[in-house]
């Protein structure tokens, strides 16, 4: 039986109201994130169905590892969210696993991949810097010229971007994006547009300087498309941290899980999933996990899915 999850919302100074389009009841007009699949301490999804209803995903991960193929990790490894950036996010960077393990109490680092769901005309993301050394970066921060030394990329709906740990980045205003990432909530902010926040978020310049990687170019994401049973399947990214695949289903798809457990989000459309004879309704905004017990799954309907797994 799939584990359907109750979404968790985070209000942000840069958030808006676009998450309503996913059939969500958001808490305010400044809702920046929906954590759709998460066992992270900062947002633990509650199971909505079946024998584990009412338990959080981290509880089920701890007590019923057989549902995840006895995956050898202390913590649930992935996190999937939707971001609504009415205003630009802070300029920030994430640590890799080694740095996070040493300086952030053994947590995961964070590499992530973005799928652009919607974007206003001329909307852009920040992806890396034109600077080449830590010293140059520190001078740019101190002289308030950081924004002049960042790579800005105009984006369109349907595009994907991979952000390795250590890459300075930000999602710009007018963008709604789906993210698959390592299960981490560690961000080191370099610049926040001089906003007054009502939370305890602070710039963390030294840690950001410690972890920033000065890449000549950011790895491009060129999806590999194929047609399977008349459905379009786009293999987006596959690395040591996760694989991310987009499915455009129209009709009936007999889905064979590539790993013991898979994370699934419905970004458009509606229909059903049938697993081992049981029928579950799917709609835009549904988030669930296919477990090791879900051996035979059939998607029926017309929808766009993002499926992520290790």
Over residues 148-159, the pLDDT tens digits come to: 999 999 999 999
> pLDDT at residue 165 above 80?
yes
Ordered by where they begin, the domains of the chain are: 8-47+73-211 (2.60.120.10), 224-309 (2.60.120.10)
Per-residue confidence at 203, pLDDT binned at 50, 70, 90?
confident
Measured in residues, the chain has a length of: 310
Q: What is the mean pLDDT of residues 99-119?
A: 93
| 189 in catalytic set | yes
Q: Is position 169 annotated in a ligand binding site?
A: yes
Q: Would you state the pLDDT for residue 199?
A: 52
- Residues with Cβ within 8 Å of 309's Cβ and at least 6 positions away in sequence, in order, are 78, 242, 243, 257, 258, 259, 261, 262, 263
> pLDDT at residue 202 above 70?
no
Nearest to 125 by CA among 177, 186, 169, 64: 169
Q: What is the mean pLDDT of residues 69-73?
A: 91
The active-site residue, picked from 20, 65, 189, 197, is 189
Q: What is the mean pLDDT of residues 276-301?
A: 95
Nearest to 255 by CA among 286, 294, 297, 293: 297
DSSP code of residue 22: G
Q: Would you state the pLDDT for residue 218?
A: 76
Please give the model's pTM, rounded to 2 decimal places.
0.94
Q: What is the mean pLDDT of residues 293-310?
A: 94
Q: Is position 235 annotated in a ligand binding site?
A: no
Q: What is the mean pLDDT of residues 38-50?
A: 96
Q: Is position 224 annotated in a ligand binding site?
A: no
**Segment (H or E) for 207:** helix 205-211
Compute the mean pLDDT over every residue in the chain, rounded to the nearest whole number.
93
> pLDDT at residue 72 above 60?
yes
């Amino acid at each position: 039986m799939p584990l359907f999850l109750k979404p968790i919302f985070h209000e942000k100074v840069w958030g808006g109201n676009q998450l309503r389009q996913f059939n969500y009841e958001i808490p305010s007009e400044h809702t920046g994130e929906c954590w759709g699949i998460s066992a992270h301490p900062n947002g633990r999804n509650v199971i909505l169905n079946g024998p584990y209803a009412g338990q959080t995903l981290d509880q089920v991960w701890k007590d019923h590892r057989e549902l995840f193929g006895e995956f050898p990790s202390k913590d649930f490894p992935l996190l999937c969210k939707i971001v609504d950036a009415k205003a630009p996010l802070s300029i920030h960077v994430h640590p890799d696993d080694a740095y996070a393990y040493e300086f952030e109490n053994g947590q995961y680092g964070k590499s992530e991949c973005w799928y652009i769901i919607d974007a206003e005309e001329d909307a852009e993301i920040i992806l890396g810097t034109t600077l080449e050394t830590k010293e140059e970066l520190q001078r740019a921060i101190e002289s308030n010229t950081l924004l002049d030394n960042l790579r800005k990329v105009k984006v369109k709906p349907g595009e994907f971007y991979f952000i390795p740990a250590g890459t300075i980045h930000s999602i710009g205003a007018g963008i709604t994006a789906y993210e698959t990432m390592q299960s981490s909530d560690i961000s080191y902010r370099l610049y926040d547009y001089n906003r007054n926040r009502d939370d305890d978020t602070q710039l963390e310049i030294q840690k950001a300087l410690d972890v920033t990687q000065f890449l000549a170019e950011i790895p491009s994401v060129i999806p590999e498309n194929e047609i399977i049973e008349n459905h379009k399947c786009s293999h987006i990214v596959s690395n040591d941290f996760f694989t991310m695949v987009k499915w455009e289903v129209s009709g009936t798809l007999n889905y064979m899980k590539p790993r013991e457990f898979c994370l699934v989000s419905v970004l458009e459309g509606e229909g059903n999933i049938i697993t081992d004879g049981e029928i579950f309704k799917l709609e835009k905004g549904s988030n669930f996990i296919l477990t090791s017990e879900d051996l035979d799954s059939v998607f029926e309907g017309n929808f766009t899915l993002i499926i992520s797994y290790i």
